[in-house]
């Protein structure tokens, strides 16, 4: 049975002793990242600290755009000179911090993360790849530092868990400890029902049409083992494309009999391509490692990368790489 390793006393002492903090998450923040930042922020505020949240963004997805003003986009020199402790959450490599990585150079940094691929960075680290979400790692901190979890904080902790576990779908056998942590959150007043609405509801009709288009465009390749779909720059004229279609798209394409890998290509300005990767529960393909070989990263079953090549070329290279992995 899995249990979370103890957090180094050195890390706990830093969090107890320092007065000012910057809490940073990854670029294009998702639910786990933002919830982790907010839960960390609340914990430090409860401990009487001065806290700044920072994120390089963008915050243009409709479900997170209202949060933009809570996050700094730059660390100014005045703040940096006060030598705050930097806490980085949900980031597997310094590049994932975006332009903020340069701005925190020289500051003591503690990283809390659950990615299995990536590069070790930061002065101190508490990395638990088996944790379903980074928020459940932050929950360990609340316990270790004996800070009370309010209903609002419990909702942040649950939300990150819900987004990264596909609302309980990606949890494996013998992971009762995860459900026990979540049960604690429900007992603190979190309604999974309300959380599900928050996670999946509120979409525009245009978004649903876009999702339909992406499904319509999907192709089954390599003997049905791979499904791909693409989004083009022109789509933004016709559809609302700022909301990530990925999650529902991946769920549908992965549900096709025999599919091991789903690739989603999004054409970006400047001849670059964003790639989303998923592999099925039964597949032995580690898409985190695959994404890493294209300059990205993530987990065994879910990963992403941005490739500095046009969409057609990126697609060709990736299909070749997947074909090789399927034959191995
Ligand atoms: P999503 O497809 O939901 O954006 O990302 C799936 C997983 O892959 C997340 O855990 C995310 O952190 C990771 N990921 C997505 N894009 C990138 C990327 O460009 N670089 C790295 N290192 N990880 C990524
Ligand atoms: Mn995460």
Q: Are residues 194 and 213 in the same domain?
A: no
Q: Ligand 1: does its nearest atom lie under 6 Å from the Cβ of 304? A: yes
Q: Are residues 173 and 266 in the same domain?
A: no
Q: Are residues 222 and 181 in the same domain?
A: no
Does pLDDT of 245 surpass 80? no
Pocket test residue of 91, 290, 303, 305 for ligand 1, highest count of atoms within 8 A of CB: 303
Q: Are residues 29 and 104 in the same domain?
A: yes
Does pLDDT of 116 surpass 90? no
DSSP SS3 for 310: coil
Q: Are residues 59 and 177 in the same domain?
A: yes
Sheet with strand 50-54: strands edge to edge:
50-54, 20-24, 85-89, 109-113, 124-127
Q: What whole-number percentage of the chain has pLDDT above 90?
A: 89
Domain count, the chain: 2
Does pLDDT of 207 surpass 90? no
Residue 228 counted as domain residue: yes
pLDDT of residue 237: 85
Q: Ligand 1: does its nearest atom lie under 6 Å from the Cβ of 93? A: yes
Rounded mean pLDDT, 44-63: 93
Rounded mean pLDDT, 31-52: 98
Q: Are residues 116 and 25 in the same domain?
A: yes
pLDDT of residue 203: 83
- Sign of torsion over alpha carbons 254, 264, 275, 126: negative
Contact 127, 176 (CB under 8 A): no
Residue 158 CA to its chain's centroid (Å): 14
Residue 4 counted as domain residue: no
pTM for the whole thing? 0.93
Mean pLDDT value across the chain: 95
**Residue 113: strand pairing partners:** 127
Rounded mean pLDDT, 43-68: 92
pLDDT of residue 119: 87
Q: Are residues 249 and 149 in the same domain?
A: no
**Residues in contact with 199: Cβ distance below 8 Å, sequence separation at least 6, in sequence order:** 31, 159, 162, 163, 167
Q: Ligand 1: does its nearest atom lie under 6 Å from the Cβ of 306? A: yes
The CATH code of the domain that includes 181 is 3.90.1640.10
Residue closest by Cα to atom 22 of ligand 1: 297
- Geometric angle at alpha carbon 299, from 92 and 109, rounded to 5°: 15
Domain that holds residue 210: 205-327
85 dihedral zone (left: phi>0; alpha: psi -120 to 50; beta) = beta
Q: Ligand 1: does its nearest atom lie under 6 Å from the Cβ of 246? A: yes
Domain ends where: 183, 198, 213?
198
The 10 Å Cβ neighbour count of residue 215 is 15
Domain ends where: 134, 163, 198?
198
Q: Are residues 174 and 214 in the same domain?
A: no
What's the token pair of residue 8?
Answer: 């180094």
pLDDT of residue 240: 74
248-294 pLDDT tens trace: 899 999 999 999 999 999 999 999 999 999 999 999 999 999 999 99
Pocket test residue of 117, 297, 305 for ligand 1, highest count of atoms within 8 A of CB: 297
139-192 pLDDT tens trace: 999 999 999 999 999 999 999 999 999 999 999 999 999 999 999 999 999 999
Contact 156, 135 (CB under 8 A): yes
Full DSSP string of 103-154: HTTTS-EEEEE--SSS---SSEEEE-TTSS-HHHHHHHHHHHTT----HHHH
Contact 1, 177 (CB under 8 A): yes
Residue closest by Cα to atom 12 of ligand 1: 298
């Amino acid at each position: 049975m899995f249990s979370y390793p103890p957090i180094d006393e050195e890390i706990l002492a830093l969090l107890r002793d320092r007065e000012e903090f910057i809490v940073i998450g990854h670029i294009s923040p998702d639910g786990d990242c933002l919830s982790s930042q907010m839960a960390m922020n609340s914990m430090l505020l409860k401990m009487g600290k001065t806290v700044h949240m920072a994120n390089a963004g963008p915050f243009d997805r409709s479900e997170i755009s209202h949060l933009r003003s809570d996050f700094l986009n730059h660390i100014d020199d005045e703040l940096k000179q006060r030598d705050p402790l930097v806490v980085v959450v949900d980031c597997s490599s310094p590049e994932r911090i975006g332009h903020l990585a340069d701005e925190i150079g020289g500051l003591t940094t503690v990283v809390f993360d659950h990615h299995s691929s990536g590069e070790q960075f930061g002065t101190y680290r508490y990395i638990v790849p088996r944790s379903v979400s980074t928020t459940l790692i932050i929950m360990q901190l609340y316990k270790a530092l004996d800070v009370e979890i309010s209903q609002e904080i419990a909702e942040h902790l649950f939300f990150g868990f819900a987004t990264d576990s596909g609302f309980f779908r990606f949890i494996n056998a013998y992971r009762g400890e995860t459900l026990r942590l979540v049960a604690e959150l429900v007992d603190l007043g979190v309604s999974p029902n309300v959380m599900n609405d928050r996670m999946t509801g509120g979409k525009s009709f245009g978004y649903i049409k876009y999702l339909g288009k992406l499904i319509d465009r999907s192709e089954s390749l390599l003997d049905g083992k791979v499904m791909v779909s693409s989004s083009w720059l022109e789509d933004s004229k016709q559809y609302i494309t700022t909301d990530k279609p990925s999650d529902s798209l991946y769920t549908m394409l992965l549900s096709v009999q025999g599919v091991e890998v789903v690739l989603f290509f999004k054409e970006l300005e400047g001849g670059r391509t964003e790639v989303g990767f998923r592999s099925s529960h039964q597949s032995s393909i580690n898409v985190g490692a695959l994404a890493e070989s294209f300059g990205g990263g993530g987990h065994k079953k879910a990963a992403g990368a941005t490739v500095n090549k046009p969409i057609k070329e990126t697609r060709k290279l990736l299909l070749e790489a997947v074909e090789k992995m399927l034959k191995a």
